């Protein structure tokens, strides 16, 4: 039987898999797709900013972000988890329709509710050297 910690690691990997499938310019998304991983109300905190999110406004944000993306891939370096959260130290690789490629070093903390949905997405990322 999985511990809650192991379950949260699995959930966090599932969210990254969701990103791999959906963060592409040609992926069609609906609010129902957002609720596969995210709660009805959640917080997004990228690089110190704070946003109250829901499936509708997050869908709008995601559609804008992925407009030029052909894909995203993650290289997990370290994983830490507890009873509520999982955190990845990772490198993210983003490719774009114009041939550009970006690489970021990132720390991503995901906190989950009792249904296994993300209620906090806190990420600090910097362009990789």
At 2 the pLDDT is 67
What are 53's strand-pairing partners? 42
Whole-structure pTM value? 0.94
Residue with tokens 């994983």: 79
Cα separations in angstroms, 99 against 28, 69, 71: 21, 10, 11
* Mean pLDDT of each 10-residue bin along the chain, 129 residues long: 88 98 97 97 97 98 97 98 97 98 98 97 95
At 1 the pLDDT is 46
The closest alpha carbon to 44, from 57, 30, 25, belongs to 57
The CATH architecture annotation of domain 4-127 reads Roll (3.10)
Q: How far, in Å, CA of 57 to CA of 60, rounded?
A: 5
At 92 the pLDDT is 98
What are 79's strand-pairing partners? 88
At 3 the three-state DSSP class reads coil
């Amino acid at each position: 039987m999985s511990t809650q910690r192991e379950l949260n690691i699995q959930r966090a990997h599932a969210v990254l898999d969701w990103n791999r499938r959906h963060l592409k310019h040609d992926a069609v998304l609906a609010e129902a797709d957002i609720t596969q991983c995210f709660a009805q109300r959640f917080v997004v905190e990228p690089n110190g900013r704070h946003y109250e999110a829901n499936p509708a406004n997050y869908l709008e944000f995601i559609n804008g972000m992925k407009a030029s993306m052909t894909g995203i891939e993650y290289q997990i370096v370290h994983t830490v988890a507890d009873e509520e959260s999982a955190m990845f130290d990772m490198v993210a690789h983003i490719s774009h329709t114009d041939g550009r490629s970006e690489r970021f070093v990132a720390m991503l903390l995901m906190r989950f509710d009792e249904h296994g949905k993300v209620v906090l997405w806190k990420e600090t990322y910097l362009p990789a050297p």
